């Protein structure tokens, strides 16, 4: 499929600098652009590439002011990154969608299947499952008893959804993800042995939640582990039992959240963030990569770094002091030497 710059600008509500009739048929990174490709510029550190890229069309923010001549046709939009994502979604939707029920697959006779399903080969759908309209279940997926899956949800190959979990509308569960496995609950005995505590709750994913590949969301001991509307978790993220994650919160790879913690909405966690159990985190909190959050964060919108995590201004001062430790130690040793010399002279 080919699109002209004018068609793209009209679709995105943008303005044009350059040839409105130039055509593109694919996308590319701005640093790897070639004729016929569409690229975008959102991160300022990639700005030098806009003067050398061979891409035919580049999406830029409306306030971008070039310092040198640009060969590509520019489509100016309010948010270039968001506009590029919109175009990628449009391209993905143009592909022929999967449909029908492949064989061999097992679908219990009590399963309720909505309109226009896709169920891939070797999938297993247990008793009393309810599938909404336009659900896509790829090969080798396991869906346990009494699970409910909303409309337009996609579950990719090899994912597992345990019994009685609830998946909302327009959710995406990627390959290898496990939703609803037992929470890590054990009672310690007198002789250092552990008795398993039955995990009788479930997991609830509200609408527009995305679970990354090989991520795990544990079922609650009682009640529900809940990921609210719009939550996105990356590959290899672990959400423990009875956790609640607020709307539109995002977590990068290898983040781990311990049991019964409540996280607010619109939070952002970098890679390998660790969150202790039974704490509360306010709305809009941002945690840098490898932050270790061990206590409540009550102030909305703060940025925390380090382990144990602290607010960014305090952590930066600590990091600056840490970098100067070798020099400070040298000075301290010199002062100790001087003090010893003075003490010796006084004793004489």
Contact 260, 278 (CB under 8 A): yes
- At 1 the pLDDT is 67
**pLDDT tens-digit readout, 8-56:** 999 999 999 999 999 999 999 999 999 999 999 999 999 999 999 999 9
**pLDDT tens-digit readout, 228-284:** 999 999 999 999 999 999 999 999 999 999 999 999 999 999 999 999 999 999 999
- At 91 the pLDDT is 76
Give the pair of three-digit tokens for residue 201.
Answer: 């709750």
Q: Cα(257)–Cα(239) distance, rounded to whole angstroms?
A: 5
Q: Cα(328)–Cα(89) distance, rounded to whole angstroms?
A: 55
Angle between helix 80-94 and 5-12 (nearest 10): 110
In the predicted structure, residue 108 carries a pLDDT above the cut 70: yes
pTM, two decimals, is 0.82
- CA proximity to 243, closest of 229, 259, 232: 259
**pLDDT tens-digit readout, 53-92:** 999 999 999 999 999 999 999 999 999 999 999 888 877 7
Overall average pLDDT of the 140-145 stretch: 98
Using 50, 70 and 90 to split pLDDT, how confident is the model at 312? Answer: confident
Q: Residue 143 forms beta bridges with which residues?
A: 125, 161
Give the containing element (helix H, strand E) for 81: helix 80-94
Using 50, 70 and 90 to split pLDDT, how confident is the model at 307? Answer: confident
Q: Cα(106)–Cα(125) distance, rounded to whole angstroms?
A: 6
**pLDDT tens-digit readout, 196-238:** 989 999 999 999 999 999 999 999 999 999 999 999 999 999 9
**pLDDT tens-digit readout, 165-207:** 999 999 999 999 999 999 998 888 777 788 898 999 999 999 9
Give the containing element (helix H, strand E) for 338: helix 325-347
In the predicted structure, residue 327 carries a pLDDT above the cut 90: no
In the predicted structure, residue 328 carries a pLDDT above the cut 90: no
Using 50, 70 and 90 to split pLDDT, how confident is the model at 314? Answer: confident
Strands of the sheet containing 202-205, edge to edge, are 112-113, 130-131, 148-149, 166-167, 202-205, 224-227, 244-245, 262-263, 280-281
In the predicted structure, residue 321 carries a pLDDT above the cut 80: no
Return the C-alpha torsion angle 141, 146, 148, 153, nearest 10. Answer: 10
- At 92 the pLDDT is 74
Q: Residue 244 forms beta bridges with which residues?
A: 226, 262
Q: Cα(24)–Cα(8) distance, rounded to whole angstroms?
A: 10
SS3 257: strand
Q: Active-site residues: which are they?
A: 241
- At 295 the pLDDT is 94
Q: Residue 60 forms beta bridges with which residues?
A: 41, 76
Q: How far is CA 191 from CA 185, 186, 194, 196, 198, in A?
A: 17, 14, 9, 15, 21
């Amino acid at each position: 499929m080919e699109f002209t710059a004018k068609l793209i600008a009209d679709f995105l509500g943008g303005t044009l600098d350059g040839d409105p009739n130039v055509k593109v048929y694919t996308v590319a990174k701005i640093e790897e652009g070639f004729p016929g490709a569409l690229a975008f510029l959102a991160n300022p550190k990639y700005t030098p590439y806009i003067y050398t890229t061979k891409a035919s069309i580049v999406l830029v923010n409306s306030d971008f002011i070039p310092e040198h001549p640009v060969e590509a046709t520019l489509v100016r939009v309010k948010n270039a990154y968001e506009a590029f994502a919109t175009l990628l979604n449009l391209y993905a939707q143009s592909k022929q969608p999967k449909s029908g029920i492949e064989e061999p697959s097992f679908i219990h006779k009590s399963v309720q299947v909505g309109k226009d399903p896709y169920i891939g080969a070797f999938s297993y759908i247990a008793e009393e499952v309810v599938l909404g309209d336009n659900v896509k279940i790829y090969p080798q997926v396991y869906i346990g008893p009494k699970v409910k899956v909303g409309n337009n949800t996609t579950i990719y190959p090899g994912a597992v959804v345990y019994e009685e979990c609830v998946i909302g509308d327009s959710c995406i569960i990627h390959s290898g993800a496990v939703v609803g496995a037992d929470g890590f609950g054990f009672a310690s005995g007198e002789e250092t042995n552990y008795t398993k505590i039955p995990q009788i709750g479930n997991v609830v994913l509200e609408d527009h939640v995305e679970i990354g590949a090989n991520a795990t969301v544990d079922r609650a001991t009682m009640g529900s582990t809940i990921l609210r509307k719009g939550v996105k978790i990356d590959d290899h993220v672990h959400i423990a039992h009875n956790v609640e994650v607020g709307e539109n919160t995002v977590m990068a790879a290898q983040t781990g959240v311990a049991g019964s913690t409540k996280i607010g909405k619109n939070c952002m966690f970098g890679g390998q963030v660790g969150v202790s159990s039974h704490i509360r985190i306010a709305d809009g909190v941002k945690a840098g990569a490898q932050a270790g959050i061990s206590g409540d964060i009550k102030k909305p919108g703060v940025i925390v770094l380090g382990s144990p995590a602290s607010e960014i201004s305090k952590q930066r001062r600590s990091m600056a002091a840490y970098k100067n430790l070798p020099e400070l130690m040298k000075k301290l040793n010199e002062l100790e030497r001087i003090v010893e010399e003075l003490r010796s002279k006084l004793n004489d």
